[in-house]
Structure 1
Amino acid sequence: MYNVLVADDEPRHRRGIADMIKKLRPEYRIFMVKDGLEALSIIEDNRIDIILTDIRMPNMDGLTLIEHMAARKKPVKIVILSVYGNFDYARQALKLGAFDYLLKPLEAKSLSEILDKLDVALEKDRLSFQDGANLRRKLNSAVPVYEQHLLSRWLRGSSSEEELLEIRNLFPFLSGGFVMLATFHKREIAEIYTPQDFEELKVSFKSWMREIHQMPGPLLSFNLEGEDPVIGTLVSTAESLEWMMTRDREQFEQFIHQVRAEFGLTLTLGVGNWVADLYNEAPQSFEEARKALEYVFYEGAGRLVFYDEIAYNPEKPSLRMVSAGTGIAEALARLDRDKAARNLDVLIQKLTEGDYPAPAHLKDCVLYALVNEVKGSEAILRHEEASNFISEMEFQIPACESLEEVRTRAVHYLHRIIESIEQRKDNKSGRIINLCRTYLEEHYMEDLSLEFVAKQFFFSPTYFSSFFKQHTTMTFTEYLLRLRMDKAKELLQDGEQKISGIALSVGFRDAGYFTRVFKRETGFLNGQRKGKIIFRRSLIIWLFLRTNFRQSFHK
């Protein structure tokens, strides 16, 4: 499965391309952005294999995005989307390192062909990297590759009778002892070392482990197959672990600090219990060492952890607690960031009461709660935005390497969900207010009431009154009266209409009442002649009033 990012500033084009890819490759995970800046933000937190990007976009165009990717040396295939008139841009993109280009409007056949080419290229890259890694492992491994395979299967309890017999023949010196596992921080490795350099470092590390142990018995270190960068060490000794936990703990902790200082890597050591017969019981000690490594998810990496010293129950159920049980949903509904974070802490606290559960269980539960919140907010969030949130979280939360990172990531997504809800509500409120204004512009001459207009927009009168004033700075009655007075001023300018006719035209049934209200609101109504209202102020004053009134009306 590959991760694909579609960058296009036209929402319809962006959605259409994503839908076409989804039909052709249902297993692909798709991210959508509107420009290069958003693309870089997604790439920062996600592994992206393929980028389909338009050339012309605001903020950062497709060519600049390619340049950024080249500078970062990210292993990603970039396909440029170009219209017929932009061949020069497409050629420039290819020079910068783009994989290929497609012409817009995009056709399913062309997209299918380019996806086939991408599949072949990505698989070729994968095999090339794998072949190089295999070769380096064969050259650098202290234990031959086949023997590492046998040992890895044995510790996982997967060996056949023939393989167990072969292990006894290859390693006849094993008796009682224990398993120690060493692991490094993957992100640090990726930032500091090339794969070849790290393989060489692991070879040296195995030699250092022999020197540090100084144990009264044989020691065997090897790369644990399928769990890079984990190094397994079998220690065969008649001594119990007590001497190591007391006499050598400080020496191992100093070694961990030394690796950090000299190589920039965080080393964690997990130790399983001593067993009397390694041939038959090593898988048990291995599982305990592996659980000791998992425990650092809670207590922090870069330390020596003995299985006997931890309060850890990997079989503890995840509880799959829905978000409604923690108050997160209510906090999101109120757009309360602090309360959402506090209620997330409540969820994590409940999950970690007593013995700690397996990290995967805890992360699964937190992810489950977050996804529920996004789905519960789909009525407010755009479908595309909700889908992107879920795709990101399903990738990011399981990848967290500590409880603190889970919390930080989860709070980050809660804040982003609230921000999106706020934006959507603001936009929706603006649209509703504009519709209300339009409705009043068209119906001001009718017998309108707050209750009647609220019903037209499916609001309760109380809520509509508060909502209207919040977004116009006037009460509904004030707004309608100002609107009617403004319309009356326009009609009064010709000086020919009867006051009774103008009153009816702007929603007043009683001409006398209209006269009193108009004079009170404007102070400019004076005298009558032959039943007609004579406008006694200059036109300039009227225009000035009308202009200023309209400006304040629509702020």
Structure 2
Amino acid sequence: MYNVLVADDEPRHRRGVSDMVKQLRPEYRIFMVKDGLEALRIIEENRIDIILTDIRMPNMDGLTLIEHMESRRERVKIVILSVYGNFEYARQAVKLGAFDYLLKPLALGDLSEILDKLDTALEKERLSLQTGAVLQQRLHSAAPVYEQHLLSRWMRSAASEKELQEIRTLFPASNGGFVMLARFQKQEIAGSYTPEDFEELKATVKNWIREIYQTVGPSLSFSLEGEHPIIASVVTPAHSLEWLMKRDLEQFRQFIRQIREEYGLTLTLGAGNWVADPYSGAPASFEQAQKALEYTFYTGEGQLVLYDEIAYNPDKPSLKMIPADTGMTDAFARMDRAAAAEALKTLIQRLLEGDYPSPAHLKDSVLYALVHEVKGNEALLRQDEASNFISEMEFQIPACENLEEVEARGVSVLNRIIGSIGERKNNKSGRTIGLCKAFLEEHYMEDLSLESVARHFFFSSAYFSSFFKQHTFMTFTEYLLRLRLDKAKELLQDGDRKISTIALSVGFRDAGYFTRVFKRETGLAPEEFRKKDVL
């Protein structure tokens, strides 16, 4: 049996989540709190195995709660509950150490799937502790963990003067240097490696990096955790970075290929600029190396990117207006999917003019443009459909890993919006043509004209003529004549009615003209048709 803590400031949501957990796992013991501070008090007094927490709560929010749990090194699994609009918070929570996240409103099936995963993870940890493997690993790795923490603070400009002195002792460097980052893809690792196996792989990769640099100067490699695992290396060669890259460029490319071939993983390398003093300058080179890795959003993963060679301006602001010449609005008006896709491509090309923006800024601009189009066509969509499209895009576009995915997601949404508008227009057109036919059925005997009927339905004559033919495959005149002749045929079955009376009854003002038209269309004069029908 596991102890579960549900934290949400909304009593209805708190009770709803608790009831769903109780339904799926009756044996679990459940605690409920309204914020992170109450959660910490419960955790002090009880062993908690699983926390299901909202992100936004008073007093202490979900992200702060995660940080507290990480600092306490509690073996608790935390699942974030997030709405679409807070998706970035959910991603941040995962970076901080959350086990997973679920989107509100909560679906019973999604919660069941997460609980299954939690059961598996907790059971695996229990078995590991029983064998003593985890304890042994902690005893042998206490020093490396501290060193990794120290080096991480150095890279992020957070190291104190005392810590910098420790770093100088740990890594004495007489030359300038630079920082290189080697990034793995988290989703690839999750599908192929256990945590233990991946730790062994990282040790192997660190050794390979050390071998590459051993002929040019001292280097220091250590792990950084985040959205994707990274191995950071501080390299202090005797020669310039430009010289080193010319010398070892092919070796780095071979290194990337070897990781792919032997381990099935995509490794991407990003290098910052050379700094004269590695102790004070390494954080700047580290930040540049991070931006080089960000640039693979445009170029693709699995390569070496040098910060000095990229046209990148991460501070370039996102676009908050839609260039009129992209053609997106016009494509929507014409319901042209291909033109809408081309317009989105044009917009993206506009965003990439000059230095490339940060991926976050580009995605923000694309999202802004798509939302602008949805709102501009809101009246043509079904009720609540516009808000649903917007919520979906706010979730999907920021989560895109590369430019190709952004464009594909954008085109998919554009196609669905145009399809929905087209479907609604077709339904509306069907209702309108039905009303037109009903009107003609009721008034066919009157002196009708295209202009008068178009005016009755508030259409221009030209539009109504085209609209009517598009939906009936006949001109207005042809349809009205067919209707009148069908009615005349019905009346001709009454042998006592005069032809002239029938002609007037179906909208003809001249019996002779009626007779000529009837014979032209049916091949028989009205009297002949009557006799034929009687026989």
| TM-score, normalised with respect to structure 2 | 0.71
Match of 1:261, SS state, is helix
Q: What residue in structure 1 maps to residue 97 of structure 2?
A: none
Q: For the Cα contact (< 8 Å) 1:469–1:475, is it kept in 2?
A: yes
Question: Could you say what secondary structure the match of 2:496 adopts?
Answer: coil
For 2:425 and 2:253, the matched residues in 1 are separated by: 54
Q: Does the aligned pair in 1 maintain the 2:182–2:270 contact within 8 Å?
A: yes
- Residue 368, structure 1, aligned to residue 368, structure 2: yes
CA contact (8 A) 1:371 1:390 kept: yes
CA distance in structure 1 between the aligned counterparts of 2:352 and 2:230, rounded to whole angstroms: 26
Q: Counterparts of 1:534 and 1:314 in 2: how far apart (Å)?
A: 84
Q: Using the alignment, how far apart are the partners of 1:251 and 1:325 within structure 2?
A: 46
Q: Distance in 2 between matches of 1:130 and 1:158?
A: 35
Could you say which residue in structure 2 is the equivalent of 1:243? 243
Pair 1:316 & 2:316 matched? yes
Equivalent position of 1:16 in the other structure: none
- How far did residue 215 of structure 1 move? 4.6
Pairs within 5 Å for 1:329-348: 329-348=329-348
Question: Within 5 A, what are the aligned runs for 1:388-399?
Answer: 388-399=388-399
Deviates most, 463-472 or 135-144: 135-144
Report the 3-state secondary structure (helix = DSSP H, G, I; strand = E; otherwise coil) of the residue aligned with 1:538.
helix
Q: What is the distance in 2 between the residues matched to 1:123 and 1:452?
A: 69
SS, match of residue 266 in structure 1: coil
Change (3 A) 1:129 1:497: farther
Q: Report the Cα offset of residue 220 of structure 1.
A: 2.3
- CA shift, 1:255, in A, is 0.6
Which residue in the other structure is 1:489 paired with?
Answer: 489
CA distance in 1, matches of 2:458, 2:125: 65
Shift of 1:138: 5.9
Q: How does 1:86-485 map to 2 (within 5 A)?
A: 99=112, 121=115, 144-161=144-161, 163-164=163-164, 167-168=167-168, 171=171, 176-322=176-322, 324-485=324-485
Q: Tell me the residue number matched to 2:109.
A: 78
Report if aligned partners of 2:351, 2:357 keep a CA contact under 8 Å in 1.
yes
Deviation at 1:423, TM superposition (A): 2.9
Residues 303-347 of structure 1: per-residue CA shift (max 9 Å, x gap): 112222222222222333416341111123223333333332322
Report if the CA contact (8 A) 1:140-1:200 is conserved: no
Q: CA deviation at 1:380?
A: 2.4
Greater Cα offset, 430-439 or 420-429: 420-429
Deviates more, 1:424-433 or 1:192-201: 192-201
- Could you say what secondary structure the match of 1:182 adopts? strand
SS of aligned partner of 1:233: strand
Q: After TM superposition, give the deviation of residue 250 of structure 1 in Å.
A: 1.4
Aligned-residue offset at 1:142: 9.8
Q: Distance in 1 between matches of 2:451 and 2:142?
A: 84
Change (3 A) 1:243 1:349: same
Q: Which residue does 2:15 correspond to in 1?
A: none
Post-superposition offset of 1:459: 1.7
SS at 2:494 equivalent: coil
Residue range with higher mean Cα deviation, 499-508 or 247-256: 499-508
CA distance in 1, matches of 2:170, 2:248: 29
Distance between the aligned counterparts of 2:167 and 2:446, measured in 1? 95
Give the direction of change, closer, same or farther, for the CA distance of 1:330–1:191 in structure 2 (3 Å limit): farther
One-letter amino acid of the structure 1 residue matched with residue 231 of structure 2: I
- Asked whether 1:538 is paired with 2:529, we answer no
User: Cα–Cα, structure 1 residues 299 and 226, in superposed 2: closer, same or farther, change >3 Å?
Assistant: closer
How much does 1:257 deviate? 0.9
The percentage of aligned residue pairs carrying the same residue is 64
Contact 2:318/2:361 (CA < 8 Å) preserved in 1? yes
**Separation in 2 of the partners of 1:138 and 1:175?**
35
What is the distance in 1 between the residues matched to 2:81 and 2:207? 47
State the 1:495 CA deviation. Answer: 1.9
Question: 1:87 matched to which residue of 2?
Answer: none
Taking only aligned residues, the RMSD between alpha carbons, in angstroms, comes to 3.9
Measured against aligned partners, the alpha-carbon deviations of 1:112-134 in whole angstroms (never above 9, x if no partner) come to xxxxxx9xx59967995998999
1:368 aligned partner, one-letter code = Y
Worse overlay, 243-252 or 403-412: 403-412
Indicate yes or no: 2:28 matched with 1:28. no
* More displaced stretch, 258-267 vs 142-151: 142-151
Question: In structure 2, what residue type is equivalent to 1:487?
Answer: K
Distance 1:142 1:326 in 2: 57
Instruction: State how far apart, in whole Å, the 2-side matches of 1:284 and 1:465 are.
Output: 69
Cα–Cα, structure 1 residues 238 and 297, in superposed 2: closer, same or farther, change >3 Å? same
Shift in alpha-carbon separation, 1:334–1:235, aligned structure 2, 3 A: same
Count of aligned residue pairs for this structure pair: 438
Assess, with a 3 A threshold, how the Cα gap between structure 1 residues 512 and 278 changes in structure 2: closer, same or farther: same
Contact 1:331 1:339 in 2 (8 A): yes
Instruction: Answer with 322-331 or 282-291: which moved more.
Output: 322-331
The Cα of 1:462 is off from its aligned counterpart by 0.4
Per the TM alignment, residue 431 of structure 1 is displaced from its structure 2 partner at its CA by 2.4
Deviation string, structure 1 residues 373-430 (Cα, Å, up to 9, x no partner): 2222322232444344333332332233332333333333333333333333333322
> Does structure 2 conserve the Cα–Cα contact (< 8 Å) formed by 1:503 and 1:514?
yes
Q: Determine helix, strand or coil for the equivalent of 1:176.
A: coil
Equivalent pair of 2:515/2:526 in contact (CA under 8 Å): no
Give the deviation of 1:463 after TM superposition: 0.5
Q: Relative to 1, partners in 2 of residues 1:361 and 1:138: Cα closer, same or farther, differing over 3 Å?
A: farther
Is the CA contact 2:179–2:234 (under 8 Å) kept in the aligned structure 1? yes
2:178/2:285 contact within 8 Å kept: yes
Give the whole-Å Cα distance in 2 for the aligned partners of 1:267 and 1:140: 28
Q: In 2 relative to 1, CA 453–26 (structure 1 residues): closer, same or farther, beyond 3 Å?
A: farther
What do residues 128-150 of structure 1 show as CA deviations (whole Å, max 9, x unaligned)? 59989997996997973343333
Q: 1:224-257: per-residue Cα shift (whole Å, max 9, x none)?
A: 2334322211224444213321211111111111
Letter in 1 for 2:83: Y
* Cα 1:451/1:194, change in 2 over 3 Å: farther
Secondary structure of the 2:532 match is coil
Task: Give the 3-state SS of the residue equivalent to 1:270 in structure 2.
Answer: strand
Give the conservation status (yes or no) of the 8 Å contact 1:331–1:337: yes
Asked if 1 retains the 8 angstrom alpha-carbon contact of 2:171 and 2:220, the reply is no
Determine if contact 2:186/2:227 at 8 Å carries over to the other structure: no
CA distance in 2, matches of 1:456, 1:126: 69
Corresponding residue of 1:7: none
Flag the 1:458–1:168 CA change in 2: closer, same or farther, 3 A.
Answer: farther
- Letter of the 1:472 counterpart: T
Bigger Cα displacement from structure 2, 436-445 vs 408-417: 408-417
Counterpart Cα distance in 1 of 2:101 and 2:209: 37
Contact 1:180–1:232 (Cα < 8 Å) also in 2:
yes
Structure 2, unpaired ranges of 5+: 1-6, 9-79, 86-99
Task: Report deviation, 1:161.
Answer: 4.9
Distance (whole Å) between structure 1 residues aligned to residue 421 and residue 368 of structure 2: 20
Distance in 1 between the 2:178 and 2:186 partners?
Answer: 25
Q: 3-state DSSP class of the match of 2:182?
A: strand
CA distance in structure 1 between the aligned counterparts of 2:122 and 2:163, rounded to whole angstroms: 31
Provide closer, same or farther for how the CA distance between residues 425 and 321 of structure 1 changes in structure 2, counting only shifts above 3 A: same
Q: TM-score, normalised by structure 1?
A: 0.69
Show structure 1 runs of 5+ residues with no match.
Answer: 3-24, 31-46, 54-75, 80-97, 101-117, 528-532, 541-555
Determine helix, strand or coil for the equivalent of 2:205. helix
User: How far apart are the structure 2 equivalents of 1:131 and 1:218?
Assistant: 38
Deviations 1:269-302 (A, max 9, x none): 1111121222222110111111111222222221
Query: 1:461: how far off?
Result: 1.1
Distance 2:308 2:190 in 1: 32
Deviation at 1:183, TM superposition (A): 0.9
Q: 2: distance between equivalents of 1:262 and 1:237?
A: 29
CA distance in 2, matches of 1:534, 1:341: 58
